Amino acid sequence: MADVAILVVDINDGCKPQTIESIRILKATKTPFVVAANKVDRIHRWESVRGRPMALALREQTTEALGHFDQKYWKLVGSFAEHGFNLERYDRIKDFTKEIALVPISARQGEGIQDLLAVVIGMAERYLDDQLTDIEGAGEGTVLEMKEERGLGKTLDVILYRGSVKKGDEIVLVTDVRASRHVRDARCWESLGRYRDCSRCQWTEDQCSRYRWRSGWHYHACCLN
């Protein structure tokens, strides 16, 4: 079995026999998993925007669309409860070790994919901490989102998969037009939903070389041993 699993469920159809069988396997093998509730774009009155984060999508739906969403969501919650799992929407979870995260997504529109990746990364940090190791060298990563943050200006949400990036480094964005910028500030995930300001870290470089995945002297990519 996998170290961490993503269980994809059609939010409109609910739990089918194959879904229930997957739940039983995950329970028997004690595999940590997240539920990706797919096809939210097919919910009545749901307005999809390609690539939009689900946290933003939920705020921008009409009351009618959210009502239809909630009906399907609570049906899934009930189905998982029958198998002993406490399912909760990912942005409402306080303890990921006691509740199973449900992330609404639209694979067709790419809506909510950033949120799903963030949850999976958080789970990997939580459950696979002893298997994570640094990958040295120049930083390479994938930009999930560019947005304006109050007090920070333009920011990038990035999954770093190779090397490291720190404050002052020059980064190159490879799109249709190449553009370069210098990193003015570095913030990394300490846990889901909480940022740590790496530029203010008081640890020495030696201390961070042993614990930087948790707190970070600067960004370091990690992989499984």
What are the pLDDT digits (tens) for 6-17?
Answer: 999 999 999 999
pLDDT in tens, 22-61: 999 999 999 999 999 999 999 999 999 999 999 999 999 9
Identity (one letter) of the amino acid at 133?
Answer: T
Q: What is the distance between the alpha carbons of residues 11 and 71, in angstroms, rounded to a whole number?
A: 10
Note if the pTM is more than 0.75: no
Say if residue 198's pLDDT is above 90.
no
Name the residue ranges covered by the structural domains of the chain: 5-127, 132-224
218 φ, ψ to 5°? -155, 175
The answer to whether residues 197 and 187 touch, using CB atoms and an 8 Å cutoff, is yes
Q: Which residue has the higher pLDDT, 6 or 2?
A: 6
d(C-alpha 156, C-alpha 144), whole Å: 7
pLDDT tens by residue, 87-144: 999 999 888 888 999 999 999 999 999 899 889 888 887 777 776 666 677 888 877 7
CATH class of 5-127: alpha beta
For the structural domain made of 132-224, what CATH number should be given? 2.40.30
CA distances from residue 145 to 52, 103, 108, 148, 166 in whole angstroms, order as listed = 9, 17, 18, 10, 19
